[in-house]
């Protein structure tokens, strides 16, 4: 048998159509845009989907041809220019691979919720371009984030589509590895995947998508049960990304059987009915801001983690929301730390003042009108850093993070209160304790840790938290979805149309 040669790559973005700042090529360069040998160097040994592809390839003795891997922090739709450049670089890599010898298959790490200025269905756009190069028959296996808003076209263009099982996403490596092993079985003619997609009309806030509690725990269990049945290859559930005002937004189930399309459809429908029956449990009920801060201050022991769920840059927000910081200062919280707050102007001012200096400035609330006003604050510059650290926790282990120039400020609150704030130049969702530790703040020593994150923070912070409170802050990832003006969503959809009926 000829040696197995596999092209790997990925373009990944979660796009909020409500975010006011579009996502450009520079945003990808800032997070990561690696090609060829640089891709291998960056991802070998990491707990990422591409790290999983690489290990599966090594175990299966495949030759790997790297193309490009690009990812940007969630934000507004990807510009036409960035889409063209990235897709061109990916297809160029594939053409190069084909020119150098026969290619047996393609492994792609995509997201599923990328909206491009060129196409609502970013992944459909990418996969169409890939198929133009590799033809209709070559196995193209795709992994998605479970926040993907899946389309029939994506699933049709891919040979197999699977998604992360876990939110927080602690399993991209395992899914990448699984996909690599499945490709090996396909090229050895052991299995012939048949896939079915069922779209469920539910739009779900992020907090109840957490896969270690109900309702998602039950969804995950049933999916795994079905997946283990003889003849089934994979079952995925994607609650989707609500902040995309496009027709495909909603909950998806994808089932893949070995050669039996009817079987795949039945499996997907069974899981979809289970999800639909629990639709009411996907509605999020966060705690009002002042009540949350008072509870955290009154707790007998810390750290109490306050999740600033309205301003989660992982969902495309600016990360400069001030509502929670304002409440912490006004109510006189102490031994409190907040991260991150993106404000490059403030970092420049703090750097100019220097470590140890007293400073007064306007902080945050500068990007859009949805995340609070700039705050007039005073305090001390504790530390200036380059904002670089490496993830050591359970999410994206081994990946290096660049917050840009970063300042730790200790801000004066009411009644002698003090709140430390990690002020960054770039946006970042705090998914690793390194966000505090790399800035000299030991998170286990604090009473209150405020983090701009919806759910992902739980992977690193739950083990050290005495309590976690989901705070009802305003912003573009607030779970009050009915405050957003949707125009293009497919209706009816639950919970906007609560009386609707549906069956797969
Ligand atoms: Zn996600």
User: What's the pLDDT score for residue 114?
Assistant: 98
Kind plus residue range of the DSSP H or E element containing 317: none
CA–CA gap between residue 191 and residue 291 (Å, rounded): 55
Residue 164 C-alpha to ligand 1 middle, in angstroms? 8
Q: Which residues contact 383 (CB under 8 A, 6 or more apart)?
A: 355, 407, 408, 439, 440
Residue 7 C-alpha to ligand 1 middle, in angstroms? 24
Residue 437 C-alpha to ligand 1 middle, in angstroms? 24
What domains can you pick out in the chain, each with its CATH number?
Answer: 1-190 (3.40.50.2300), 193-284+481-504 (3.30.70.100), 289-478 (no CATH)
User: What's the pLDDT score for residue 322?
Assistant: 98
Residue 386 C-alpha to ligand 1 middle, in angstroms? 27
Burial per residue of 81-103, b for 16 or more beta-carbon CB atoms within 10 angstroms, e otherwise: ebbbbbbebbbebbeebbeeeeb
User: What's the pLDDT score for residue 69?
Assistant: 98
User: What's the pLDDT score for residue 315?
Assistant: 87
User: What's the pLDDT score for residue 1?
Assistant: 57
Per-10-residue mean pLDDT for the chain, 504 residues long? Answer: 88 95 95 94 93 96 96 96 98 97 97 98 98 98 98 98 96 98 96 98 94 97 97 98 97 98 98 97 94 98 97 94 98 98 98 98 96 97 98 90 97 98 97 97 98 96 97 95 94 96 94
Residue 403 C-alpha to ligand 1 middle, in angstroms? 20
Kind plus residue range of the DSSP H or E element containing 108: strand 105-109
In the numeric block, which tokens belong to residue 34?
A: 């690696």
Q: Mind giving me the DSSP string for 116-128?
A: BSS-S-HHHHHHH
Residue 100 C-alpha to ligand 1 middle, in angstroms? 35
Helix (H/G/I), strand (E/B), else coil: 216: helix
Residue 74 C-alpha to ligand 1 middle, in angstroms? 10
Backbone angles phi, psi at 292, to 5 degrees: -65, -45
Residue 349 C-alpha to ligand 1 middle, in angstroms? 34
Cβ atoms of 65 and 100 within 8 Å: the answer is yes
Residue 247 C-alpha to ligand 1 middle, in angstroms? 19
Q: CA separation (Å) from 420 to 205, 362, 417?
A: 29, 15, 10
Residue 422 C-alpha to ligand 1 middle, in angstroms? 24
CA–CA gap between residue 168 and residue 137 (Å, rounded): 34
Residue 442 C-alpha to ligand 1 middle, in angstroms? 27
Residue 317 C-alpha to ligand 1 middle, in angstroms? 14
CA–CA gap between residue 217 and residue 210 (Å, rounded): 8
């Amino acid at each position: 048998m000829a040696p197995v040669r596999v092209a790997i790559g990925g373009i990944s973005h979660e796009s909020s159509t409500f975010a006011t700042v579009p996502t450009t090529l520079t945003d990808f360069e800032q997070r990561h845009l690696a090609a060829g040998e640089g891709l291998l160097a960056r991802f070998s040994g990491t707990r990422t989907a591409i790290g999983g592809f690489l290990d599966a390839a090594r175990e299966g003795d495949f030759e790997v041809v790297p193309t490009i891997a690009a990812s940007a922090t969630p934000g507004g739709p990807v510009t036409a220019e960035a889409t063209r450049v990235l897709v061109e670089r990916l297809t160029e890599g594939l053409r190069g691979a084909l020119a150098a010898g026969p290619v047996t298959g393609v492994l792609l790490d995509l997201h599923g919720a990328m909206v491009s200025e060129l196409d609502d269905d970013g992944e459909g756009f990418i996969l169409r371009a890939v198929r133009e190069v590799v033809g209709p028959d070559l196995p193209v296996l795709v992994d998605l984030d479970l926040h993907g808003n899946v389309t029939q076209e994506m699933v049709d263009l891919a040979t197999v589509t699977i998604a992360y099982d876990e939110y927080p996403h602690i399993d991209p490596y395992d899914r990448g590895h699984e996909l690599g092993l499945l490709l090996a079985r396909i090229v050895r003619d052991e299995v012939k995947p048949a896939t079915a997609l069922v779209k469920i009309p539910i739009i779900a806030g992020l907090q109840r998508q957490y896969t270690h509690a109900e309702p998602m725990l039950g969804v995950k269990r049933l999916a795994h049960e079905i997946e283990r049945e003889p003849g089934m290859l994979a079952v995925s559930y994607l609650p989707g990304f609500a902040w995309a005002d496009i027709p495909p937004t909603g909950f998806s189930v994808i089932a893949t059987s070995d050669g039996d399309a009817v079987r795949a459809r039945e499996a997907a429908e069974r899981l979809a009915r289970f999800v639909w029956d629990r639709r009411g449990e996907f509605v999020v009920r966060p705690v009002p801001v002042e009540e949350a801060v008072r509870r955290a201050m009154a707790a007998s022991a810390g750290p109490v983690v306050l999740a600033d769920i309205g301003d989660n840059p992982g969902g495309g927000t600016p990360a400069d929301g001030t509502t929670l910081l304002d409440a912490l200062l006004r109510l006189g919280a102490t031994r409190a730390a907040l991260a991150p707050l993106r404000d490059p102007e403030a970092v420049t001012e703090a750097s100019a003042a220097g470590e140890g200096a007293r400073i007064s400035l306007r902080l945050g609330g500068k990007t859009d009108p949805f995340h609070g006003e700039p705050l007039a604050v005073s305090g001390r510059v504790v530390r200036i850093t380059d904002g670089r650290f490496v993830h050591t926790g359970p999410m994206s282990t081994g990946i290096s993070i660049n917050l840009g120039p970063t300042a730790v400020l200790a801000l004066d609150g009411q009644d002698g209160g003090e709140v430390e704030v990690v002020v960054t130049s770039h946006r970042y969702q705090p998914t690793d304790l390194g966000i505090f530790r790399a800035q000299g703040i030991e998170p286990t020593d604090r009473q209150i840790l405020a983090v701009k994150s919806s759910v992902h923070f739980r992977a690193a912070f739950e083990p050290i938290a005495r309590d976690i409170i989901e705070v009802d802050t305003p912003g573009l990832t607030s779970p009050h979805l009915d405050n957003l003006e949707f125009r293009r969503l497919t209706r009816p959809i639950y919970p906007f149309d609560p009386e609707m009926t549906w069956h797969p």
